[in-house]
């Protein structure tokens, strides 16, 4: 994939006018920090010394969970340096002596897998987890589903669930978190939807998003469309995708290969704001096609232009992403790019099982998307 530094119009909601950027390169991450629990006093330590000190007492003194204390004692999982030091200090102050029999029970497989996604409420992830749950259950594993948090305790919270491995499909999870999972001894499978610098020790599945976005642009251009706008996701914090996002990257690369000018509507905080941004942009620009990052945003964009009296597809063609039920039951029914969820979900479980059974990191696997044409084009 190329990464040309070509200018593109990026239209942000409530911006006074369009503005130019050379490259969408920086992730717009939000990190929320929590204050650690307040250590106890010396007097409390002396009082505890008169009775049997438990792991719970150590956890309370160190301001961490009992699971983190267990990880420090057994030295078998990654623990943040600051937390480890607090636990060791609490053990020393409380003169704690762990139960050796209880510790001997550790180290067994849990047959528990954690799936991490950005937005677990979408139909795409609902169907994907359904496929993975089916195959995992038949192999003796149970799956937990969690939305990516991007805060200081996130990695520790996942590890504290005592899982054997994680499957990740998140555009916003920091690469550092993935490395920490690997360092903690977890088997890790990444459904790659953006560029990473280093995924050593990780099983990788290419889900076809980059090629799918290029196919969408190529299909629209083949219909004679020249002013194709990309409608990005919306989020409560107004996040926008970077060029490392495979869907956006594919859109840019194909537009530039066809000598077309990219235009991106991004930074919206909700569906109403997105609809206004689309309407405002299309009112002042000769837009003849829309490529949505998902069926949901494409649906919102399509309704916004139809509310202006534009005809779909005669005036503006619309293509979504995910081939959800929404795309099929919209009127007009919406053309969408289908991701091979069944095959991807099955492959993710198989690759994770191989790693858990000592088979090493599997070779990367790749899947292609498929464009499903309907009435909107």
The 10s digit of each residue's pLDDT in 65-112 is 888 887 887 665 678 889 989 998 998 888 886 644 343 345 568 899
Nearest of 301, 277, 291 to residue 335 by alpha carbon: 291
Confidence of residue 14 (pLDDT cuts 50, 70, 90): very low
**247: helix, coil or strand?**
helix
User: In 319-350, which positions are buried (b, 16+ CB within 10 angstroms) versus exposed (e)?
Assistant: bbbbbbebbeebeeebbbbbbebeebbbbbbb
Judged against a pLDDT cut of 80, whether residue 326 lies above it is answered with yes
Average pLDDT, the chain: 84
Task: Name the residue among 44, 133, 129 with its Cα closest to residue 94.
Answer: 44
Q: What is the C-alpha separation between 364 and 204, in angstroms, rounded? A: 5
At 253 the pLDDT is 97
Q: Residue 44's pLDDT band (boundaries 50, 70, 90)?
A: very low
So what's the architecture of 209-338 in CATH? 3-Layer(aba) Sandwich (3.40)
44/64 Cα distance (integer angstroms): 17
172 φ, ψ (degrees, to nearest 5): -110, -5
CATH class of 42-104: mainly alpha
**pLDDT-based confidence at residue 273 (cuts at 50, 70, 90):** very high
Q: Is the pLDDT of residue 5 over 70?
A: no
Q: CA-to-CA distance for 319 and 263, rounded, in angstroms?
A: 15
Instruction: Determine the length of the chain.
Output: 377
Give the model's pLDDT for residue 356: 94
Residue 80 Cα to chain centre, angstroms = 23
Identify the CA nearest to 281 among candidates 48, 46, 2, 18: 18
**C-alpha distance from residue 243 to each of 173, 195, 240, 254 (Å):** 15, 9, 10, 13
- The strand ranges marked E within 30-119 are 112-117
What was the pLDDT predicted at 274? 96
User: What residue segments make up the domains of the chain, in order of their start?
Assistant: 42-104, 112-207+341-368, 209-338
Residue linked to tokens 């002042």: 284
User: Which fold, 112-207+341-368?
Assistant: Rossmann fold (3.40.50)
> Taking the C-alpha atoms of 267, 21, 292 and 321 in order, what is their torsion angle to the nearest 10 degrees?
-110
Question: For 38, which DSSP code?
Answer: P
Residues 6 or more apart whose CB falls under 8 angstroms from that of 31 comprise 150, 151, 152
Contact 361, 353 (CB under 8 A): no
Q: Which residue has the higher pLDDT, 95 or 251?
A: 251
Rounded distance, CA 265 to CA 109, Å? 46
209-338 and 42-104 share a CATH fold: no
DSSP 234: B
Res 41: pLDDT: 39
Beta strands in 6-66, from DSSP E residues, in sequence order: 8-12, 19-21
Query: Which one has a higher pLDDT value, 33 or 13?
Result: 13
Residue the block writes with tokens 């909107």 = 376
């Amino acid at each position: 994939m190329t990464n040309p530094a070509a200018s593109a119009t990026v239209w942000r909601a409530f911006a006074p006018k369009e503005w130019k950027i050379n490259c969408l390169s920086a992730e717009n991450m939000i990190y929320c920090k929590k204050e650690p629990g307040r250590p106890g006093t010396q007097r409390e330590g002396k009082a505890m010394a008169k009775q049997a000190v438990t792991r719970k007492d150590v956890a309370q003194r160190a301001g961490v969970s009992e699971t983190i204390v267990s990880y420090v004692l057994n030295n078998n999982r990654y623990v943040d340096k600051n937390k480890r030091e607090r636990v060791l200090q609490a053990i020393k102050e409380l003169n704690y002596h762990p139960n050796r029999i209880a510790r001997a029970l550790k180290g067994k497989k849990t047959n528990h897998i954690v799936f991490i996604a950005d937005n677990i409420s979408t139909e795409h992830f609902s169907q994907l987890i359904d496929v993975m749950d089916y195959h995992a259950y038949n192999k003796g594993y149970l799956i937990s589903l969690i939305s990516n948090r991007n805060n200081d305790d996130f990695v520790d919270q996942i590890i504290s669930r005592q899982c054997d491995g994680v499957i990740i499909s998140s555009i916003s999870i920091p690469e550092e978190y993935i490395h920490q999972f690997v360092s903690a001894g977890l088997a890790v499978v990444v459904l790659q939807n953006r560029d990473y610098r280093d995924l050593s020790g990780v099983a990788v599945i290419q889900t076809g998003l980059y090629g799918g976005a290029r196919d969408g642009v190529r299909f629209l251009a083949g219909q004679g469309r020249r002013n194709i706008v990309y409608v990005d996701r919306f989020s409560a914090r107004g996040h926008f995708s970077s060029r490392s996002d495979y869907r956006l990257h594919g859109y840019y690369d194909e537009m530039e290969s066809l000598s077309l000018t990219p235009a991106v509507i991004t930074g919206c905080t909700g569906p109403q704001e997105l609809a206004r941004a689309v309407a405002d942009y299309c009112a002042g620009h000769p837009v003849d096609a829309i490529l949505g990052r998902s069926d949901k945003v494409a649906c919102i964009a399509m309704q916004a232009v139809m509310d202006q009296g534009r005809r779909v597809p005669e005036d503006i063609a619309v293509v979504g992403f995910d081939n959800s039920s929404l795309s099929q039951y919209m009127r007009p029914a919406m053309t969408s790019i289908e991701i091979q969820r069944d095959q991807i979900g099955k492959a993710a479980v198989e690759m994770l099982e191989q790693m858990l059974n000592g088979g090493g990191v599997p070779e990367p696997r790749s899947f292609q998307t498929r464009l499903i044409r309907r009435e909107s084009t």
